[in-house]
Amino acid sequence: KEYYLVKWKGWPESSNTWEPQKNLKCPKLLENFLSDKDEYLSRMKEGKALKVRNSVKALKPAVADYIVKKAKQRIALQRWKEELNRKKNHKGMILVENTVDLEGPPIDFYYINEYKPAPGINVINGITTGCECSDCPAEKCCPKEAGFILAYNKRKKLKIQPGLPIYECNSFCRCGPDCPNRIVQKGTQYSLCIFRTNNGRGWGVKTLQKIKTNSFVMEYVGEVITSEEAERRGQFYDNQGNTYLFDLDYDSDEFTVDAARYGNVSHFVNHSCDPNLQVFNVFIDNLDLRLPRIALFSTRTIKAGEELTFDYQMKGSIDLTSDSADGLSPSRKRIRTVCKCGAVCCRGYLN
């Protein structure tokens, strides 16, 4: 008979027991066990799928160790997925997937839905007025008051060119939640998957739904810090080869967003020299030109299952030294990092 060493839920490993398959009332766990075993053996034999022969009395320690680590990783990623979905405040679901290696959830990352300002920085400037429109956009709607055109068309898709700001209706406007000028503030509408890339770029993000051209996809959030603090942190991050600094340089360069420890799904979006997302500056409840919100819109139709990327050298975007978003102002560029985006037009380096 075949026997399986069973770890009982809620019991210490000292209580593990050997059980025949007839005692296993966990078909999904057994399926994962056999799949993990065959995957490991296939890798050891250069892709040739193998089965353990009946004459084999026990799995080799390396195989058993891999299966245990894979099972623990699966549990950790499932818990992380549940935590992400508890914390997010938008419609789209967040999935997590790693079929590449044994990497688990990031240890020092905390999911947030909006900017986390450092002491002394006010990301909401106490706006006390809004438009009086009953049906936006009208002559006195928010974009017109700011001297710009409405950013969206009747289908709620972006219609302005990159570099132009987006002024959405705010919490003091008379219009309701269905106003066509309330897009970014509603958050991500698409289900997305944080997945492990197979070419050394760490984690990435792919969409699980089709995204049409000029659609809002996600917002880039993190800690809002001064540029002086960003300079200090940048030097520390350089030693780790890992930083997520995004300069808010729409009007000046006084502030930076640091998504290293606090961020949302955008923390995991990778760079591409031929991206499918574009950066836009957005103003809603804060009209301070030094503190725009950063929104990512699709540049073309994106198929379900396709990875989401943006160019870290875009205006108002970032220039990275790690495998995910990490923006450095020209004065902080130190290391030329090889680009792994694989695009035909790849520039060869991230900076």
Contacts of 58 (CB under 8 A, 6+ apart): none
User: 90 among the known binding-site residues?
Assistant: no
User: 203 among the known binding-site residues?
Assistant: yes
User: 341 among the known binding-site residues?
Assistant: yes
**How far apart, in whole angstroms, are the C-alpha atoms of residue 124 and residue 291?**
9
* E strands present in the chain: 3-6, 17-20, 94-97, 110-111, 116-117, 166-167, 192-196, 203-207, 216-220, 223-226, 245-248, 255-258, 262-263, 270-271, 277-283, 293-298, 309-310
User: 110 among the known binding-site residues?
Assistant: no
User: 88 among the known binding-site residues?
Assistant: no
Catalytic center residues: 220, 312
Contact yes or no for 228/75 (Cβ under 8 A): no
User: 16 among the known binding-site residues?
Assistant: no
User: 202 among the known binding-site residues?
Assistant: yes
Contact yes or no for 224/291 (Cβ under 8 A): yes
User: 193 among the known binding-site residues?
Assistant: no
User: 133 among the known binding-site residues?
Assistant: yes
User: 201 among the known binding-site residues?
Assistant: yes
User: 136 among the known binding-site residues?
Assistant: yes
**How far apart, in whole angstroms, are the C-alpha atoms of residue 282 and residue 293?**
5
**How far apart, in whole angstroms, are the C-alpha atoms of residue 199 and residue 319?**
20
Contact yes or no for 247/329 (Cβ under 8 A): yes
User: 141 among the known binding-site residues?
Assistant: yes
The token pair that represents 207 in the structure block = 């969409």
Long-range contacts of 133-136 (CB under 8 A, 24+ apart): 133/169, 133/173, 133/174, 133/175, 133/179, 134/174, 134/175, 135/175, 136/169, 136/173, 136/175, 136/179, 136/180, 136/181
Cross-strand partners of 262 = 110
Q: Mark the binding-site residues for S-adenosyl-L-methionine, compressed into ranges.
A: 201-203, 270-271, 312, 340
Q: Mark the binding-site residues for Zn(2+), compressed into ranges.
A: 131, 133, 136, 141-142, 169, 173, 175, 179, 273, 339, 341, 346
Q: Mark the binding-site residues, compressed into ranges.
A: 131, 133, 136, 141-142, 169, 173, 175, 179, 201-203, 270-271, 273, 312, 339-341, 346
